A and B are shown apart, each in its own frame.
Chain A
Amino acid sequence: MRSLAGTVVLITGGTAGIGRTTARLLARNGAHVAICGRDQERLDAALREIPRAWGMCCDVTVPADRERLVRAVAERFGRIDALVNNAGQGRVGKLGDLTGDQVSTLVDVNFTAVADLTRLVLPAFGARGGHVVMMSSVSAWVPIPPLSLYSATKAGVLGLALGLRREVPRGVRVHVVCPGPIRTEWLSRELNGRRPSTSHRTVSPQGPIRGTWLVR
């Protein structure tokens, strides 16, 4: 197996949950990790925790932020070898119960941002090639009622990845990771309409717990 040592990996939303755990794991394996998130406090905490990680505040739903992020990572490390499209949100509720804003925000973060960031990063791979990882979900395969719209965005991401594999240059690999339910903040954040308490901000994967994996 080839090594991750020295590779430059940009992980969107690497400040919590799956992204933060992934960032820590990749850094431990010698990768240079760049992370982003909207919450500065949480970003700082993640950067303190993950050795050699670099990060910046960025809202991936804002086109100018996306361009700024990709430019900053390329300038900082001189190249980008991999993009992990991890930042995402859940929406629990039947489509008819959501507001128009909730619909567009969810599509923006879970799909539009993923497509556009991938578009921006592909040229940065150059002749070396690189890896794009799409964080989809098992709900892309089995959409269920309270997550219909969420599942549709994740199915969109899956479809995008399959299509991209057939159009990117040789040397670029496009992967899809479909997690089952993992006990992170997004569901509770969505249901409570607020950020969880600070006790939920530390990252320590433990699991499985009652059929779910706990990633805090």
Chain B
Amino acid sequence: MKKCLTARVSRTVAVPRWWEVARLGSWAPVTRLLDVVVAPASTAIVRLARRYGRSLGSPS
């Protein structure tokens, strides 16, 4: 954030930096692959996300 607010040009950044790899998700071949792989697993992914959320809500 500090780097953005002192930058001379507009920036687009992922945080942490290694998440830059997610930009590939907008590339057509990767998008098509995700459509095929993720769609059948969507209900399971929702369940997983809820479990993850509950783990955040519980005291650690």
Contacts and interface: CB of A to CB of B under 8 A. Distances in A.
A84 B24 CA distance: 26
A136 B5 CA distance: 16
B54 A188 contact: yes
B5 to A, nearest CB: 5
Interface stretch (A1-9, A40-48, A101-109, A116-124): A1-9
A195 to B, nearest CB: 10
A22 B3 CA distance: 12
Interface string B5-32: 1111111111110010011111000000
Interface residues of A, number: 50
B1 A199 contact: no
Interface in B28-59: 34, 38, 42, 45-46, 49-50, 52-54, 56-57, 59
| A contact face: mostly helix, strand, loop, or mixed | mixed
Contacts of B38: 144-145
Given A9-B5, A25-B2, A183-B56, A94 B46 contact: yes
Contacts of A156: none
Given A4-B2, A92-B53, A144-B38, A179 B7 contact: no
B5 A178 contact: no
Given A25-B2, A144-B45, 16 more contacts: A2-B6, A25-B1, A92-B50, A133-B5, A141-B25, A142-B26, A146-B49, A158-B12, A162-B12, A173-B7, A173-B8, A178-B15, A180-B15, A180-B22, A191-B50, A191-B53
Interface of B: 1-16, 19, 22-26, 34, 38, 42, 45-46, 49-50, 52-54, 56-57, 59
18 contacts: A1-B3, A7-B5, A31-B5, A82-B5, A92-B53, A131-B5, A133-B4, A146-B49, A161-B10, A173-B8, A173-B9, A175-B11, A177-B1, A178-B15, A180-B16, A188-B53, A191-B53, A192-B53
